């Protein structure tokens, strides 16, 4: 489908919406104002709308005007902000201290609302479009919550797609991975319960700090000696707390960190060896370990066929300069993974550029995600809208031919 040029007034509207949301960030499961904006706009456009799914989620559905047995496609945008103090100085900077749209979810909402408008004005497709505005992606597992609230029971989509801006990827470029995109996210906490003593008489105690040091070293063998060399994995101890006085060996030490994998099988191996090393090494030193291991987000793994469909769709857009299918995935995590566990689909990256879109006074630091100087690139809003339209029409047209 050849797409017409976007009306500049529409682009201005999308930019204003994005900047309004940026100025009023809301943390996970608090996205009430944002959800109201989304629901009101979808109702104005003629969508059937449900609110409150997954606490603050919004779902809008639109039926195409072409007759026939059409498929159902889901498009997802996340809505929540981060607990970060913004350093930007522009007019649309956060008005709420300690809260910031530092990951571009404001832009994701604006792009999907823009696509909603274009689809409503030109519903020349056979099938159904389900727009999913999801809360709590940032650590709150909002996707899982929406699914538990009946998302795919009420809206049985045949495939689901999401799109995230990606700093460092040039404007006009996309990535559609055929397989893993983001890693699983898992957290651990270990309390080593030992025996304190005076630092001058270490033989009278059991030093939890020495045990912690031994554990940190031992953990490095899990990736290097227990995991397959061709399976990427990360184990990072990121925190350690122990002791209050220079001349006292403490009774306990606490360690925390994260494990990341692209495979559940690899995660199973790592967790089992992690637990064994922790328990047995602490026991060997005469101490006990209280271990907590929490599996957070699963790996985000694209369906190959859906990634390839997205590639075909994106390549039909003249403004797209490249669609990458071989970029390295990231060890970051994304709760769209839960949706991909239930439905075929793909999680796409849209290039946000390298920070040149920001004017003077934006603050310090690079324009990377989760950075207090980050800002979504408004120049890619029209391209994001066109990307959604291309994916919808390509998917529904191809499904219509197959049935």
Q: What average pLDDT does this structure show over 277-292? A: 98
DSSP string, 270-291: HHHHHHHHHHHHHHHTT-EEEE
DSSP string, 354-371: SSTT--TTS-SS-S-TT-
Q: What average pLDDT does this structure show over 161-172? A: 96
pLDDT per position as a tens digit, 293-350: 999 999 999 999 999 999 999 999 999 999 999 999 999 999 999 999 999 999 999 9
Instruction: Say how far residue 345 (Cα) sits from the centre of its chain.
Output: 15
Tell me, what's the pLDDT at 360? 62
The alpha-carbon radius of gyration of the chain (Å, integer) is 24
Tell me, what's the pLDDT at 403? 56
Instruction: Kindly report the number of other CB atoms within 10 A of residue 268's CB atom.
Output: 11
Tell me, what's the pLDDT at 355? 81
Find where tokens 């709150």 sit: 140
- Two tokens at 62? 């639109």
- Two tokens at 345? 């689909």
Find where tokens 């970029």 sit: 327
Alpha-carbon gap, residue 173 to 156, rounded angstroms: 31
Instruction: Say how far residue 273 (Cα) sits from the centre of its chain.
Output: 28
DSSP 251: S
pLDDT per position as a tens digit, 110-129: 999 999 999 999 999 999 99
Tell me, what's the pLDDT at 47? 98
- The dihedral of CA 146, 395, 388, 124: what is its sign? negative
| Residue 358's pLDDT band (cuts 50, 70, 90) | confident
Please give the C-alpha separations between residue 207 and each of 147, 190, 221, in angstroms, as whole numbers. Answer: 47, 15, 23
**Global model pTM greater than 0.85:** yes
**% of the chain with per-residue pLDDT over 70:** 97
Q: What average pLDDT does this structure show over 33-59? A: 98
First to last CA, the chain: 20
| pLDDT above 90 for 394 | yes
Question: Residue-wise over 276-297: b if at least 16 C-beta within 10 A, else e?
Answer: ebbeebbeebebebebeeeeeb
Question: Residue-wise over 99-108: b if at least 16 C-beta within 10 A, else e?
Answer: bbbbbbbbbb
Tell me, what's the pLDDT at 7? 87
Tell me, what's the pLDDT at 367? 83
Please give the C-alpha separations between residue 190 and each of 150, 185, 215, 236, 401, in angstroms, as whole numbers. Answer: 36, 17, 10, 13, 55
Structural domains in the chain, sorted by start = 8-181+298-402 (3.40.630.10), 186-295 (3.30.70.360)
């Amino acid at each position: 489908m050849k797409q017409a040029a976007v009306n500049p007034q529409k682009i201005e509207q999308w930019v204003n919406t994005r900047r309004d949301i940026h100025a009023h960030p809301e943390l996970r499961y608090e996205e009430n104002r944002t959800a109201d904006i989304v629901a009101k706009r979808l109702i104005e456009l003629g969508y059937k709308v449900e609110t409150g799914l997954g606490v603050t989620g919004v779902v809008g559905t639109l039926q195409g005007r072409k007759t026939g047995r059409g498929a159902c496609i889901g498009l997802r945008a996340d809505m929540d902000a981060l607990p970060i103090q913004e350093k930007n100085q522009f007019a649309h900077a956060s008005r709420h201290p300690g809260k910031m749209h530092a990951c571009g979810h404001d832009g994701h909402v604006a792009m999907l609302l823009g696509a909603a408008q274009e689809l409503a004005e030109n519903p020349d497709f056979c099938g159904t479009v389900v727009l999913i505005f999801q809360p709590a992606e940032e650590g709150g597992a909002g996707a899982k919550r929406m699914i538990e609230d009946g998302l795919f029971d009420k809206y049985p989509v045949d495939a689901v797609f999401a799109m995230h801006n990606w700093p460092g990827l040039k404007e006009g470029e996309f990535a559609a991975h055929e397989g893993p995109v983001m890693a699983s996210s898992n957290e651990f906490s270990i309390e080593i319960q030992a025996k304190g003593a005076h630092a001058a008489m270490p033989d009278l105690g059991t030093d939890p700090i020495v045990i912690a040091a031994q554990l940190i070293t031992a953990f490095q063998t899990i990736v290097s000696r227990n995991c397959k060399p061709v399976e990427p994995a990360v184990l990072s101890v990121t925190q350690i707390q122990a002791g209050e006085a220079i001349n006292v060996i403490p009774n306990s030490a606490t360690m925390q960190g994260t494990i990341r994998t692209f495979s559940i099988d690899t995660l199973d191996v790592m967790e089992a060896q992690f637990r064994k090393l922790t328990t047995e090494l602490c026991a060997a030193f005469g101490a006990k370990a209280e271990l907590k291991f929490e599996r957070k987000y699963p790996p985000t793994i694209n369906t190959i066929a859906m990634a390839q469909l997205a590639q075909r769709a994106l390549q039909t857009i003249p403004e797209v300069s490249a669609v990458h299918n071989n970029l390295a995935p990231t060890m970051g995590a994304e709760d769209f993974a839960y949706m991909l566990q239930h439905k075929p689909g793909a999680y796409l990256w849209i290039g946000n550029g390298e920070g040149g879109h920001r004017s003077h006074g934006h603050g310090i630091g690079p324009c990377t995600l989760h950075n207090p100087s980050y800002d979504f690139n408004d120049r890619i809003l029209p391209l994001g809208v066109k990307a959604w339209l291309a994916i919808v029409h390509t998917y529904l047209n191809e499904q219509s031919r197959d049935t």
